[in-house]
Chain A
Amino acid sequence: MKPGLLDNRDFLAGLLFVAFGAGGFWVALSYPFGSVQQMGPGFFPRALGAILVGFGLVTMVRGLRSGVRVEGAWGWFPLAMLTVAIVAFGYLMEHVGLIPSLVVLVVASAYAGKEFRGLEVAILAAVMCAMAAGIFIWGLGLPYPLFAFEFGR
């Protein structure tokens, strides 16, 4: 039995390629194309966009023919959790300093895992803070405060 479109591995891949290709082409339309002798900044990206759309269409058609399913379940929860952890870290780094940002990063990312043991995570967070402070701030001299409170800048 053939999988549905949303479960069809190559169809989805091809769709993604087409989206990127078309998107790239469309954005590049606003850059001067130039000529073959004098390639403008729009020449190369438009060519690539078109090629990518071509590859994408081929992949979609082949996906429809072969009907290979996406292997395994999607790990949406760990993916979302890690993404949130990383984004939160970036945001917090600009506002509350290294240590609180790292704690949030470690705890939130550990939560994405299958086992979450409170004590272990606490120790891990402490060790990571010490290591990161030692390597990046004292070792490499990066100018980040350990703690800060800079909202509303």
Chain B
Amino acid sequence: MDVLSNLALGFGVALTLKNLAYCFLGVFLGTLIGVLPGIGPLVTIAMLLPITFGLDPVSSLIMLAGIFYGAQYGGSTTAILVNMPGEVSSAVTAIDGYQMARQGRAGPALATAAMASFVGGILSTLIVAFFGPLVGRWALEFGAAEYFSLMLMGLVFSAVLSHGDLVKALAMVVIGLLLGIVGTDVTSGLPRFSFGIPELLDGVGFTVVAVGLFAVSEIVLNLARNEKVEVFAKDVKNLMPTWADMKAAAMPTLRGTALGSFFGALPGITASVAAFSAYMLEKKLAKDPSRFGHGAIEGVAAPEAANNAAAQTHFIPTLTLGIPASAVMALMLGALTMQGIQPGPQVMTSKPELFWGLVASMFVGNVLLLVLNLPLVGLWARLTQVPYRWLFPAILVFACVGNFSLNNSAMDVYLCAAIGVLGYVFAKLDCQPAPLILGYVLGPMLEENLRRALLMSDGSFAVFVTRPISLAFLVVTALILLAMVLPGLRRRRELAVEEAAG
């Protein structure tokens, strides 16, 4: 079997002492920081990204992936105990998890979340192992037109699925695209939007945008808000769920995994959408839907399985097509590019150890996470009590030193401050940052593929609709937009988003 021999190669890479250590370090740091209230995976990765620059590409990817699903996991611990989810995808878990904690069942809620995440993670990693290569092979046939249409679809998806107004989300995508253009134009060598600042010739740095947009603005939002939250960290005693709990959580976990794996593989759809859909599905299937929102264990298991599954299958479009499925994946891609690897279908064949090493490390990492989390849950729970007034200066320290280290120059730090102000203003005006960051990452690629497609077609836009794969992407994009514009469906979406927000 092809997959088996490849997996063997992957485990050969992932199980070396060095990579094992980085995998452990990744999930450990990820959990540690993800658990701290108000810090989600994205900020965690943006903060820790500079630390991985010195590693070789495989190790750095393994560690970053570990940070990612570790943080995702840690985020759900916080969601359950503090009801202060670090990011949207754990917000769904918070709905019923926090209620379970209030009923004194924090332990079972945490254990269920851990086990559902584990199952979701392992099963979906298998899916990555089987489908990743297929997608990669299929993608080898893609030309510039297909890539352009696919990216367009991903961008529209990300706008449609971010909550809030569609036009505003699309505008954020465009701002991201413009931001991505900053720097030297690859074709003409002309510096664009660089305003004579040498640090801008290579474009605005990834971590600069991510930290400014997410960390800085998030901190200001938190500081300007006045809320006392009740923490249930002391109640974590009986960890083990009862047999009835396990039985109740089993099927939701599997269904959540299936949904999450599917959604995660589509570019532009984030783990939060997967988690939310899984939650809704369980609510529909439940005999007594009124229990949801009042501590239903299915409401913890399904979204946790779904968001972890989606977190793994996100790697399919990211690594095989070079198209990030979410903002976090965009950061991963950025990290790879900085390592000198141009992500795309050829990575699978030219650097098999990268793809398969990562896949194998995801198995290892999920096991490590379970081992790390179940026995140590008391420790993590205590961490959720760290007051925010200690946390945010620490976040800033890492963010600022990290940004300074990009070019050893203060300019990146100044830029980060500026983008932070912008990010805060956007947040107050209810403009979602996620579409922006996706646009920012895809901007240069989108332009390049548009340029190439039009060059080859001699300026005819027909090339995008005469090639069947490209046409299919565009039709799907158009259908989604149409569905959003039709008023009946729009109302339903607003309702769904409202419920997602709890």
Give A contacts to B, CB under 8 Å: 9-10, 12-13, 16-17, 20-21, 24, 27-28, 31-32, 35-41, 43-45, 48-49, 51-52, 55-56, 58-59, 62, 70-75, 78-79, 82-83, 85-87, 89-91, 93-94, 98, 102, 105-106, 109-110, 112-115, 117, 120-121, 124-125, 128, 131-132, 135-136, 139-143
- For the complex of A and B, the 4 pairs showing the least CB-CB separation, nearest first, are A75-B224, A90-B413, A90-B410, A37-B459
The interface residues of chain B, by DSSP majority, are classed as helix
- Once A and B bind, how many residue pairs between them come within 8 Å at the CB atom? 196
Would A136 and B405 count as touching, CB distance under 8 A?
A: yes
Of the listed stretches B57-65, B165-173, B325-333, name the one at the interface; the rest are far from the partner chain: B165-173
Would A90 and B414 count as touching, CB distance under 8 A?
A: yes
- Residues 211-225 of B contacting A (Cβ, < 8 Å): 216, 219-221, 223-225
Query: Which residues in A have their C-beta under 8 angstroms from that of B455?
Result: 37-39
Query: Which residues in A have their C-beta under 8 angstroms from that of B187?
Result: 41
A-B contacts, 9 listed (Cβ < 8 Å): A41-B192, A44-B181, A44-B450, A62-B167, A79-B424, A83-B417, A87-B414, A93-B413, A105-B397
Looking at the assembled complex, report how far the CB atom of A43 sits from the nearest CB atom of chain B, in whole angstroms. Answer: 8
Query: Which residues in A have their C-beta under 8 angstroms from that of B502?
Result: none
Would A113 and B389 count as touching, CB distance under 8 A?
A: yes
In the complex with contacts A82-B219, A135-B51, A24-B178 CB distance below 8 A: yes
Query: Which residues in A have their C-beta under 8 angstroms from that of B425?
Result: 16
Give B contacts to A, CB under 8 Å: 50-51, 54, 165, 167-168, 170-171, 174-175, 177-178, 181, 185, 187-188, 190, 192-193, 216, 219-221, 223-226, 388-390, 392-394, 396-398, 400-401, 404-405, 408-414, 416-417, 420-421, 424-426, 428-431, 447, 450-451, 454-455, 458-459, 461
Looking at the assembled complex, report how far the CB atom of B118 sits from the nearest CB atom of chain A, in whole angstroms. Answer: 30
In the complex with contacts A105-B397, A120-B390, A135-B51, A45-B193 CB distance below 8 A: yes
Would B167 and A74 count as touching, CB distance under 8 A?
A: no
Looking at the assembled complex, report how far the CB atom of B147 sits from the nearest CB atom of chain A, in whole angstroms. Answer: 15
In the complex with contacts A31-B192, A136-B405, A52-B175 CB distance below 8 A: yes
Known interface pairs A90-B412, A105-B397; 18 further A-B residue pairs with C-beta atoms within 8 A, sorted by A's residue number:
A10-B165, A10-B168, A10-B430, A20-B175, A41-B187, A41-B188, A48-B177, A55-B171, A55-B174, A59-B168, A70-B429, A79-B421, A85-B396, A90-B411, A98-B401, A102-B397, A112-B223, A113-B389
